[in-house]
Structure 1
Amino acid sequence: MQEVLKDCKSRMKKAIATLEKEFSKLRTGRASTGLLDDVLVDYYGTLTPLNQLASISIPDSRTISIQPWDRNAFAGVEKAIMKSDLGLNPVNDGKVIRINIPPLTEERRKDLVKLAKKYSEDTKVAVRNVRRDANETLKKMKNSKELTEDDMHKGQDEVQKITDSFVEQADQVLAEKEKEIMEI
């Protein structure tokens, strides 16, 4: 039974970690290197993650600075950022590529909050699916006489407590992101 609970916790932790990763890609009014995590640059015919071609830094709260290590990569980096669905315009001065993060409009903020809520709901569904799997495993163990009826019910109660704590955690992460998005 302990193995089932341990597996349950670890899978739910992964769901929350995935939610946090998704949230890091959501654009807020502030500059963040997480925005560029999924940008792939065509580098000598190979799609390469931007963070493997350049150093990315945040000189101030509204600017992302990208310094490619190879001079030949500048055009590709610029093109990849423009092609991405982030809606950002890179400025190349020959040494560094700068991206100014424009302030978000009220409408765009509301759309981002809706998207954040959708990500959060997807995470809760994933957590509940893990709960269902754990409960089914406990029932199978009871049917194969590995657990008594009472132990199965104790296990299911424990799985429910774990589920509740992870759903609450997803809500907290959402509340923080919502606050960050709505911040002007």
Structure 2
Amino acid sequence: MNSNEIISSSKDRMGKAEQALKRELSTIRAGHANASLLNNVTVSYYGADTPLNQIASITIPEPRVIMVTPYDKSALDNIEKGILEANIGINPANDGDNIRLVVPQLTEERRKEIAKQVKATGEQSKVAVRNVRRDSMDSVKKGNKNDDFTDDEAHRLEDEIQKITDASIKNVEQIVADKEKEVMNG
């Protein structure tokens, strides 16, 4: 691997860790309706597990209400079952045409629990970023040992990898801080 490949691979993999964190945190409830709460819901539709957003429209008519309107009314019961099985902590209310999910107001204690969960998820992302750094540093050391890089090049690469890592860790911390603020202020 040449120096440009090592750096671009590091940036790419650390960016993916940040995106994975954002996706993971988007499924955490913060006391208000958010369609991403239903991202992991799959529904048995004509014998195939299908993502909910492919067989129904998901809207937010009020700040704490998610409305699911199936494109095919015959799928209503299966959608309700899929939401229950996804275990998102909200009971669906089926009115025969739509399914309403009323997001309950969070207690202070529950907010603190969720904030802890957010922090733990952020720590996992930091570990992933540090693992990328370790892999990249190993590639630099291997390249230096095989005379692919001079000692000066190796040091420059290690410094650059560290800067990328520091920036990525800072991004992860900002993502976590924003989500904690959202959860605590709900």
TM-score w.r.t. length of structure 2: 0.96
The sequence identity of aligned pairs, in percent, is: 46
How far has the Cα of 1:143 moved from its partner? 1.0
**Match in the other structure for 1:115:** 117
Distance 1:109 1:86 in 2: 16
Distance 2:88 2:5 in 1: 42
Q: How many residues align?
A: 184
Verify: 1:88 aligned to 2:94, yes or no. no
1:30 counterpart SS class: coil
**Match in the other structure for 2:132:** 130
Verify: 1:162 aligned to 2:164, yes or no. yes
> Which letter does structure 2 place at the counterpart of 1:6?
S
C-alpha root-mean-square deviation of aligned residues, in Å? 0.9
> Which letter does structure 2 place at the counterpart of 1:39?
V
> Which letter does structure 2 place at the counterpart of 1:129?
N
How far has the Cα of 1:49 moved from its partner? 0.9
Say which of 47, 50, 64 aligns to 1:48. 50
**Match in the other structure for 1:182:** 184
**Comparing 70-79 and 8-17, the one that deviates more:** 70-79
Gapped regions of structure 2 (runs ≥ 5): none
2:142 counterpart SS class: helix
> Which letter does structure 1 place at the counterpart of 2:120?
K
Distance 2:45 2:107 in 1: 34
How far has the Cα of 1:29 moved from its partner? 0.8
Distance 2:85 2:138 in 1: 45
How far has the Cα of 1:101 moved from its partner? 0.6
Verify: 1:74 aligned to 2:76, yes or no. yes
